[in-house]
Amino acid sequence: MIMDIYAKLQKLVNDAREDIEKAAGGNQAAGTRARKAMQEIKAASQELREAVLTAREEPKP
């Protein structure tokens, strides 16, 4: 589960790269898309953080 969430996070970061580069060049529409992508990255990061904490707290067999 943790690795699935991590893979999702990596994909979001990689997908956002083009829009972030365009936004750095001054493209306002790309900036809007980049900000939206960053919100998705933030949510995925929080999901991963919670999964890691849950895994840490589970008793080991």
Element of type H or E holding 48? helix 28-57
- Return d(Cα 37, Cα 57) in angstroms, integer: 30
Residue with tokens 């060049």: 25
pLDDT at 61 over 80: no
Q: What is the pLDDT of residues 14-35, one digit of tens each?
A: 999 999 999 999 999 999 999 9
State the pTM of this model. Answer: 0.86
- Give the percent of the chain with pLDDT over 90: 92
pLDDT at 60 over 80: no
